[in-house]
Amino acid sequence: MFLDDEETPVSDSPSRVAIVTGAGRGIGAAVARRLAADGFAVGLLDLDEAGVREGAEAIVADGGRAVGVPLDVSDADQVDAAVTRVAEELGAPTVLINNAGITRDNLLFKMTEQDWDSVLNVHLRGSFLMTRAVQKYQTEQKWGRIVNLSSTSALGNRGQVNYSAAKAGMQGFTKTLAIELGKFGVTANAIAPGFIATDMTAATAERVGMSFDEFKAAAAAQIPVQRVGTPEDIANVAAFLVSEGAGFVSGQVIYVAGGPKD
């Protein structure tokens, strides 16, 4: 439920508007739903126009405020236009979840330059462009939250030299944002998921010639809590990091992997 201006605000933050990239499905969609349930108006951004439209419609049907905007996060003009649209339709965005990502897995000697460029452009260039566009609203309001999606693959993973490099880059990006933006009341943190059951991991199972159930069972056997993660597991952590209560948490990388990671 969203409160009228005359009623008590749901928090002391200047704005309750969030942007989630890669919100057409999987982790991004789950984060968008959770933030909407927590009282945020949400801009759902993704290359998948149908996905973000349906996600926004579902939030509105539940009584929330949302807009779905299709875009390529690696295109500066599209990013600026999308952020402006969210600001005009929902209000100044002060929460940003940089979740958009792709995989183009292959061993180094088989990997093409396009495989490399595509992955780094979406993950790193996209996050840079989105953050540059949103920080204007955050610094003006002297409050903001940035959550970047990294991965346990940042620690290295066979067949993912491009993805691993991008996800490790997201961690350095996050720490530097925390340093630069902290004086404006903006925190920046990264979530590094382990095995999460999504369309992306299902595609990996298919690539290695396993059924998804077999793939998940094999992964769960190696995880201390003996299960694979869900998009909602990530959404729960993101919800904390964007809250008022997380105001003294910044520049951190939180591994959400069912066990310890170095």
Catalytic residues: 163
Give the C-alpha separation, 118 to 124, whole Å.
10
Query: Tokens in use for 101?
Result: 């990502």
Q: Give yes or no for a contact between 200 and 103, defined as CB atoms under 8 angstroms apart.
A: yes
Report which residue type is found at 158: R
> What strands lie across the sheet with 186-193, from one edge to the other?
66-70, 41-46, 17-21, 95-98, 144-149, 186-193, 253-256
Q: Residue with structure tokens 């759902």?
A: 44
User: For 62-211, where are the alpha helices, taking DSSP H only?
Assistant: 76-90, 113-120, 126-141, 161-181, 199-207
Give the C-alpha separation, 222 to 259, whole Å.
10
Query: Tokens in use for 68?
Result: 């779905």
Q: Residue with structure tokens 């409160």?
A: 3
> SS3 for 95?
strand
Q: Give yes or no for a contact between 24 and 48, defined as CB atoms under 8 angstroms apart.
A: yes
Query: Tokens in use for 232?
Result: 């909602």
Q: Give yes or no for a contact between 71 and 47, defined as CB atoms under 8 angstroms apart.
A: yes
Q: Give yes or no for a contact between 150 and 101, defined as CB atoms under 8 angstroms apart.
A: no
Q: Give yes or no for a contact between 238 and 32, defined as CB atoms under 8 angstroms apart.
A: no
